[in-house]
């Protein structure tokens, strides 16, 4: 993730495995397996410690997500 200067991995879900695994799939404008706008907080062991769902026109509250991550 050098180009983005990140020190954590990002997920590319090109085959929708994570979308289905997290149960956030829906159909949008005729496209299947679209992910609902969501955020998940996983600890170092991959355990989900937080989950947030948002409306399509809603942006995640980054301050809330960062605060939750700092509590881990």
pLDDT at 2: 58
Farthest-apart Cα atoms in the chain, separation = 39
| 8 domain residue, yes or no | no
Q: Indicate the length of the chain as a whole number.
A: 72
Beta-sheet strands, E only, within the chain = 25-28, 31-35, 38-42, 48-53
| 1 domain residue, yes or no | no
30-46, pLDDT tens digit by residue?
A: 999 999 999 999 998 98
| 9 domain residue, yes or no | no
| 4 domain residue, yes or no | no
Q: Domain limits at 41?
A: 14-70
Give the pLDDT band of residue 5 (cuts 50, 70, 90): confident
Domain count, the chain: 1
| Dihedral pair phi/psi, residue 3, rounded to 5° | -65, -30
pLDDT at 3: 72
Mean of per-residue pLDDT scores for the chain? 91
The reported pTM is 0.74
| 2 domain residue, yes or no | no
42-55, pLDDT tens digit by residue?
A: 998 989 999 999 99
């Amino acid at each position: 993730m050098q180009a983005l200067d990140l020190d954590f991995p990002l997920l590319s879900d090109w085959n929708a495995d994570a979308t289905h695994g997290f149960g956030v799939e829906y159909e949008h404008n005729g496209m299947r397996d679209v992910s609902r706008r969501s955020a998940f907080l996983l600890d170092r062991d991959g355990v989900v410690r937080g989950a947030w769902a948002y409306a399509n026109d809603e942006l995640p509250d980054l301050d809330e997500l960062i605060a939750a991550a700092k509590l881990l």
